[in-house]
Amino acid sequence: MQDYRHSRWITAALLAPAGVFFVFLLILPLVVVLVYSFGARAPAGGYEAAFTFDNYLNLPARGKAFFNTLTLAPLGTLLTAIAAFPVAYILALKTDPKWRVTLLVLIMAPFWTSQLLRYYAWIMLLGSKGIPSWLAYIGIADLRIINTPTAVLIGAVYGFLPLMVPPIYVSLEKLDKRLLEASADLGATPLRTFFQVTLPLALPGVATGSMLVFILLMGDYILPQYLGGGKVFFIGNALVDLFLQSRNWPYGAAVSVALVLIMFLTISLYMRFILSRTDKRRAALV
Amino acid sequence: MRVYLVLVYVFLYAPIALIVGGSFNAGKQAMIWQGFSLEWYGKAFSNPLITEALGTSLYIALATAAISSVLGLMAALGLERVKGWLRTFFDALIYIAIMVPGIVIGISTLIAFVSIFELVNPALTATFNIRLQMGSWAVIAAHVLFNIAVVALLVRARLQGMDRSLVEASEDLYATPFGTFRQIVLPLLAPAVLAGFLLAFTFSFEDFIIAYFVAGPDVTLPIYVFSSIRRGVTPEINAVGTVVLVTSLLLLVIAQLILQRGNQARVRADG
C-alpha cells in the first residue's frame, strides 16, 4: 500500500501524457513563435531565418489594432460586469429558489448556439434595416450603429453576459444572508448595506468573471470582424490578416508575442490588485 | 427589477429568435417573413457539404472531450502526489494554457507543425511515400491542450473538497489501491469529470479560430458557417444552427437530470 502511494512510476505515468501535450503543443510552439518574431519574411511569404528587431520596431504600424483592443476589451469587460451584476443579484437573492436554476440555465443557454450565427444576427439587428430603421419611426433618424465601437461593445456584452453571470451568482448565493440582516438591524440603509456588505463579498465572483471575459475579448476575432466590419478591428483581425492573407509570418509572430506579453502583464497586475484588496478586507473583518 | 430581468432575456434571445425564425421562413430574405416552410431543413440535411462538416465537428469534439477528460483527470490525480518544483512547473503550464488566447494557440500550432513538416516530409516521402499535413488531428491536438487544463482545474477543485477519511477507511478495509480508486475516488470525482467532458465538447464543437488556422483541408461546421456567411448566408445554415441549439438544450436537460439523480442517490446513501 505504501509502495503504491509513494510509487514514483505511477506519479510519472499519471503526469506524463499531460506533460507531453504541454511541452510539444504549448511550450515548443510558443518558442517557435518567439524565434520567428526575430526572423524575416521570405519573398514568397512565410519565414526566412534572420536575427532582426525590425518586426518589433514595426509594431506601431498596427498601432490602431492595439489601441482598439486595449480600450474596447477592458471597457467591454466592465460593461458586461455592470450589466451582469443586477442579473446575478436578482437571481441569487430576490428569486424563488424553485426557479433559480432554470433562470440561470436560460442565461447560459445562448452560449450553446453558434457564436458565428448569433453575431451574424446582430449584423442584421444593428444594420440599416434593423433597430436604426425602427428608431427612425420615433424620430431618431440617421443613427448608424453597425461597424462602430458601440456595436462592438453591444456585441461584447451580448456575447459574454452568459459567462459573467454564473461566477457572480455563485459568490452571491454563498453569501451569509444573516450579514445583510445584521447590517439592516444596525441601522444601515439598503444602499449602504449593498456597498459595504453585498458588493465587497461578491467581489471574488466579479473578479473571476471579469478575468474570463477579458481573456476571451483580448484575443477575439469574430466579434470585431462581424460587428466592427473591418472598421473597428482588434489584434486578432490583424493576426488573421498577417498569417492567412499577407503571409508575413515573422511580423505576425511579433504581434502575437506582444499580445501575449500584454495579457500576462495586465492579468498579473489585476490579480495582485484583487488579492491585495481581498486581503485588506479580510484583515479589516478580523 | 423584474423589468430589467425581462429586458436581459429579450436582449439574449432576440438574435436567437431571428436565427430560428429564419430557418422556418419560406423566403430567403432574413428580415422579411414569407410564410412557414420546412424546406431549409430538407435542403440542409441533403447538402453533403453540411452533413460532412457536421460529422467532422462531432468527431473532433467527441475525441477532444474523451481524451482531455482522461488526461486532465490523470494530471489532477498526479499533481496531488507531487510537491516542489514539478508542481510549480505544472501549475504554471496549466495557467499559461488557459491564459494564452485561442488565436495565438492556433498560430503557434500552425507554424510549429508546418516547420516540422518541412523538415521531415522530404525524407518521409522518399522512404514511405507519405506526406504529413494539417487536418482534424491537429485541431484535436490543439483543443485537447487547452481542455486538459480546464478538466485538471475542475477535478482539482473537487479533490480539495473531498473527504480523505473515505479513502483511508477503504484502505483500512483492505481494498486494493485500484479497488479504492474505482469504488471511492472515481464516483466522487465523476461530476467534475462529466462537467469537464461537457465543457470540452462545447468548446471544441463551437471553436472557429483554432480550427481556422490548423484544420488544413478539413472543414468543421463553424468553418463552413463562416465561409457561407461570407458568401451570403442561406437559411440552410439557420436550420443547422436551430438543430444544434435544440440538441444541446436537450443534452443539457439530460445532464441536469443525471446530476440530480446522482445527488439524490448520495443523499439517500448518506441518510
In a domain, A18, yes or no: no
Per the CB < 8 Å rule, is A263 touching B101?
yes
Any domain includes B47: no
* B103 to A118: CB separation less than 8 angstroms, yes or no: no
Q: Say which residue, A218 or B167, is predicted with more confidence.
A: A218
- Report the C-alpha gap between B213 and B223 in whole angstroms: 10
Report CB contact under 8 Å: A86, B1.
yes
Listing DSSP states for B99-127 in one string gives: HS-HHHHHHHHHHHHHHHHHHHHHHHHHH
pLDDT tens-place string over residues B202-240: 899 999 999 999 999 999 999 999 999 988 878 899 999
DSSP three-state, residue A134: helix
Residues of the domain holding A249? 61-285
B226 and B120 Cβ atoms separated by less than 8 Å = no
Indicate whether B45 belongs to any domain: no
| DSSP calls for A81-111 | HHHHHHHHHHHHHSS-HHHHHHHHHHHHGGG
DSSP-derived 3-state class of residue B216: coil
Does residue A166 lie in a domain region? yes
- Among B99, B144, B222, select the one facing A215 at the smallest CB separation: B99
Mean pLDDT, consecutive 10-residue stretches, chain A (286 aa), reads: 66 92 94 94 83 93 96 97 95 88 88 88 88 81 86 96 93 85 88 87 90 94 94 95 91 96 91 78 60
Cα dihedral sign, A231-A235-A239-A240: negative
Which residues are within 8 A (CB) of A130 and not within 5 positions of it... i.e. 6 or more apart?
A124, B31
A116: domain CATH number is 1.10.3720.10
* Residue pLDDT, tens place only, B129-148: 888 889 999 999 999 999 99
Cα–Cα distance for residue pair A246/A13, rounded to 1 Å: 44
Is residue B267's pLDDT more than 70?
A: no
What is the count of structural domains for chain A? Answer: 1
Q: Does residue A134 lie in a domain region?
A: yes
By Cβ distance, the residue of A15, A105, A118 closest to B16 is A118
Distance, in Å, from the CA atom of A58 to the CA atom of A70, rounded to the nearest integer, reads 18
Cα–Cα distances (Å) from A233 to A71, A152, A161, A229, A262, in that order, read 12, 9, 21, 8, 17
Nearest in space to B96 (alpha carbons), one of A88, A21, A200, A94: A21
Q: Write out chain B residues lying below 8 Å of A109, CB-based.
A: 249, 252
- CB-defined contacts A:B, below 8 A: 207
What distance, in Å, lies between the first and last C-alpha atoms of chain A? 43
Give buried/exposed letters for A274-283 (b at 16+ CB in 10 A, else e): beeeeeeeee
Chain B CB contacts of A169 below 8 Å? none
Closest CA–CA distance from residue B13 to any residue of chain A (Å): 7
Amino acid sitting at position B187: P
Contact B252 A109 (CB under 8 A): yes
Q: Do B111 and A236 touch (CB under 8 A)?
A: no
The domain that contains B80 carries what CATH number? Answer: 1.10.3720.10
- What stretches of chain B show up as alpha helix (H) in DSSP? 2-24, 39-45, 48-80, 85-99, 102-128, 136-160, 164-172, 177-180, 186-206, 209-214, 221-231, 235-270
Question: Which chain A residue lies closest to B71 (C-alpha atoms)?
Answer: A18
ipTM for this prediction: 0.88
Q: How many other CB atoms sit within 10 Å of the CB of residue A174? A: 12
Torsional class of B234: left (φ above 0), alpha (ψ -120 to 50), beta (otherwise): beta
CB contact under 8 A, A105 and B110: no
Three-state DSSP class for residue B6: helix
Query: What does each C-alpha distance from B229 to B29, B167, B192, B238, B263 come to in angstroms?
Result: 14, 54, 37, 11, 44
Q: By the CB < 8 Å criterion, does A134 face chain B?
A: no
> CA-CA distance, A178 to B201, in Å (whole number)?
40
DSSP reduced 3-state for B232: coil
Chain B: residue nearest A158 by CA?
Answer: B12
Residue of B nearest to A15 (CA): B75
Q: Give the model's pLDDT for residue B128.
A: 87
Interface residue A19 vs chain B (CB under 8 A): yes
The CA-atom distances, in angstroms, between A96 and each of A87, A100, A179 are: 14, 7, 20
Calculate how close chain B gets to A236, using CA atoms only, in Å: 7
Q: What is the pLDDT of residue A44?
A: 79
Instruction: For residue A32, give the nearest of B78, B108, B222 by CB distance.
Output: B108
Cβ neighbours for A64, distance < 8 A, ≥ 6 positions apart: A233
* Single-letter code of the amino acid located at A11: T
DSSP state of B218: -
- The C-alpha atoms of residue A85 and residue A78 are separated, in whole angstroms, by 11
Each residue of B179-210: pLDDT tens digit?
888 888 888 888 889 889 988 998 999 999 99
What is the C-alpha to C-alpha distance for residues A107 and A165, in angstroms, rounded to an integer? 8
> Cβ separation of B208 and A115 shorter than 8 Å?
yes
In a domain, B13, yes or no: no
Does residue A240 sit within a domain?
yes
Q: Which of B78, B112, B241 sits opposite A29 (nearest CB)?
A: B112
Kindly state whether residue A14 falls inside one of the protein's structural domains: no
Residue B40 counted as domain residue = no
Give residue B162's domain range.
52-235
- Answer yes or no: do A260 and B100 touch at CB < 8 A: yes
| Interface contact A229, partner B, CB < 8 A | no
Please provide the size of chain A in residues: 286
A116 vs B171: CB contact, 8 Å cut-off?
A: no
* Residue-level pLDDT at A285: 58
Compare all CA atoms of chain B with the CA of A120 and give the residue at the minimum distance. B229
Cβ neighbours of A162 in B, within 8 Å:
12
Cβ–Cβ below 8 Å for A121 and B15 = yes
Residue B63 lies in a domain: yes
Question: Average pLDDT for residues B40-46, to the nearest whole number?
Answer: 92
Q: Does B129 map to a domain?
A: yes
Q: Are B57 and B64 in contact (CB under 8 A)?
A: no
Is B152 close to A106, i.e. CB distance below 8 A? no
CA dihedral angle for residue B160, residue B161, residue B164, residue B166, rounded to 10 degrees: -140
Q: Is A141 on the interface with B (CB under 8 A)?
A: no
Mean of per-residue pLDDT scores for chain B: 88
The closest CB to that of A116, out of B98, B109, B208, belongs to B208
Cβ distance of B142 and A25 shorter than 8 Å: yes
What would the pLDDT profile of B100-123 be if each residue is shown by its tens digit? 999 999 999 999 999 889 888 888
Cα B132 to Cα B114: distance, rounded to the nearest angstrom: 9
Residue of B nearest to A212 (CA): B99
Measured distance CA(A205)–CA(A211) in Å, rounded:
10
| Nearest by Cα to A89 from A164, A16, A8 | A164
The DSSP element (H or E) to which A41 belongs, if any, is strand A40-41
Asked if B206 and A114 come within 8 Å (Cβ–Cβ), the reply is yes
Identity at B159, one-letter amino acid code: L
Cβ atoms of B18 and A121 within 8 Å: the answer is: yes
State the total domains in chain B: 1
